[in-house]
């Protein structure tokens, strides 16, 4: 799934990823908030209990299916339910502005 701007760009809060259901119908959904300057101010990830997906990868995958050197990985393996992420946590993962998400391939992985 590639995040795409529609009609002039995303608005805050922006649900930038929904994995859809795994084989059991469980999923991961991620959203971010941001200001008029497009700088991320926070975010959240909701992972259904028992979902086989444990990571959200923002960026390209290598031929072997592993994240490329420039991809950003959000590990939510221990999450059941919803977790909020601060601006600092997003920045530490390499996600600073909407442009760090928009237009990139976004994938859920085990």
For residue range 18-58, list pLDDT tens digits in order. 999 999 999 999 999 999 999 999 999 999 999 999 998 88
Kindly tell me the sign of the dihedral angle through the C-alpha atoms of 21, 17, 59, 74.
negative
Is residue 7 situated within a structural domain? no
Asked whether residue 4 is domain-assigned, the answer is: no
pLDDT of residue 9: 77
> Where in the sequence is the domain holding 42, given as residue range(s)?
14-109
With 70 as the cut, is the pLDDT of residue 8 above it? no
77: in domain: yes
The DSSP bridge partners found for residue 97 are 39
Quickly state the pLDDT bin for 7 (edges 50, 70, 90): low
In a domain, 70, yes or no: yes
The helix or strand, by DSSP H or E, that contains position 75, with its residue range, turns out to be strand 72-75
Q: Say if 2 falls within a structural domain.
A: no
Number of domains in the chain: 1
Please give the pLDDT value at position 1: 46
**pTM for the whole thing?**
0.81
Average pLDDT for 71-87: 91
């Amino acid at each position: 799934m590639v995040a795409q701007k529609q009609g002039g760009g995303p608005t805050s809060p922006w649900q930038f990823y929904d994995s859809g259901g795994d084989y059991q119908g469980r999923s991961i959904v991620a959203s971010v908030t941001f200001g008029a300057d497009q700088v991320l101010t926070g975010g959240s990830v909701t992972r259904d209990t028992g979902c086989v997906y444990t990571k959200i990868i923002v960026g390209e995958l290598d031929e072997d299916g592993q994240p490329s050197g420039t991809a950003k990985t959000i590990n939510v393996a221990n999450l059941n339910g919803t977790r909020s992420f601060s601006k600092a946590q997003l920045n530490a993962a390499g996600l600073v502005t909407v442009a760090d998400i928009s237009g990139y391939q976004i994938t859920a992985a085990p």
